[in-house]
Structure 1
Amino acid sequence: MRYEGPIYRPPSEAGSLLIQATAGCPHNRCTFCMVYKKGPKYRVRPAAEVIEDLEAARAQYGSRIQTIFFPAGNTIAAPTDTLEVIFRAASRIFPEVRRMTVYGSSRYILEKGEKNLRRLAAAGLSRIHVGLESGSDAVLADIRKGATREEQIRAGRLLKKAGIENSSYVMLGIGARALSRQHALETASALNEIAPQYVRLRTFVPKEGTPLLRKVEKGDFVMAGPHEVLSETRLLLENLEAATSLRSDHYTNYVNLSGELPRDKTRLLGMIDDALKRPEGSFRPFFVGTE
């Protein structure tokens, strides 16, 4: 198998075969993200090359592969014809596979449209990991996400129509202290309209070499502390009414929340309340991310 540039995958894809279908990210403007700021430039790998890698993986791993994740950033932006060929080949080479997934932000999901998303679902694509980050237009504009609240909601609904699972990522603390309440309430409201299969929480950590780290250092972005992030999480959860699986499977988080909503909401709120009783010094220290 051949790889180019940084290879990232969601924590939930830790056991997946990683076959690179694209390199870089076509957006690459999010102020919090360092992954592709130094390259490589976004490009789509030829389908024949990707299929060669799939065949090499089959020869190496045989029938042990159950899930496949196709890096890199925003693989969904690749041409539908190319992705369809790749997914159908993966289904043929690994008939045992039960899940094939990619990263995809709302802008590129919308550009695909329902017809093309249905084609990809029929070819084997089963889930898209969507960096929602926030449901607040003010926050989305600040972090240069490339999509509005309304576009995020439309993209989420489009995935549902196309029969593709939506694993939506929310970034706690990304509104700083100034927009914390707005971020929590408007994100919960957006998620209620999207009703993704999964909501995955991660906490903002400034990353080396990013525009947002420079804002933090200059004092233009005042980070929320552990108790403030936990209070924001509580407000989000209190107002989240969609039926979804909540996960906080990320090393940045202050408390590991995992459950099914609405069934487990009371238990999860209790976990946050217990965490809020702890002194702030007992949580992980502030750090600058390097990966």
Structure 2
Amino acid sequence: MFEIKTKWNYLVKDISLNKRNYSFRIVALILGLYIFTLGITIGSQTAVGVSMIDFTIFSGLFSSEGLMETQGTTIVPGTIKVQDSPYALYCGLLYVGMSIVSLIFMSIWVAKDYKTTRNKMLFVMMGLAVVGDIIIILGIPLLIEMNLLYIPGAAIANAAPGIRVYIFMLAFACYALGIALWVYASLLSGPYNSICTNFLKVTGIKSYSVGRTAMNLLILAPGFIVIIIMGLTGTPWSDIGNFLVVNISFGTVFYVFVLGIVVTAWGKLIRKILIVKPHVSPDEPKQTELNLSE
């Protein structure tokens, strides 16, 4: 208990000495979460491929709600209706699943570190990570619901194919920028980011792009399982084919294989724009270099 209190006092002092740096991180977190969910909301109706998160969510919506009615419209067959659907609920459930997997990864590397260091603060970190995940699990669906109030999903779904591609590229840029700001903030990492971070720590992989791609494929897996079960239990394969053509397209390739590279590029640009002052350590009240890679 004394160790925890000491660490808390240290943190309070650290914040008081580095108010500007922490202010930047808070701004980056708020902007990152909003821009991230904006990218999700816009991109979900473009019908040129969706993110791994949306694919798994859409698989659930396909199973429970069916596909959008396309007769007499320009909507691409196989499109999922997002507005007025339990999208936010399914999103929350998927984030719960990611949080559980992330916690399993974290438990593995924390147990290994504890055997070596006997540092009880590692378990405090686990507890704080769980609290942070809960905040994100509740917050992300709410932000998406808010975006759905003013994003014209039907208009995007009815747009010409070329226009939808441009809209997708805008959504993808927002999605990647949001993640980069979120990672830069190093606050409330949430299941989507923590699952990658903890996976890297468990495996010892140094490349964020490699870890991000591996976790993206893992997030896709439940969606494919749902689709296979639907096909085996009577859902017309023509409907499944339309669903896969719409939602597993070049856009999905971008999300799965290009996202990590773009997030890294955004991250480098953000660090050039959000220039922080050298970090002042409470232990040594003198200017020291801030490790921006954390």
TM-score range, shorter chain: under 0.3
Q: Which has the higher strand share?
A: 1
Higher alpha-carbon Rg: 2
Give the number of the structure whose residues are more often helix, by fraction.
2
Larger relative contact order (Cα-Cα within 8 Å, sequence gap ≥ 6)? 2
- TM-score (structure 2 length as normaliser): 0.24
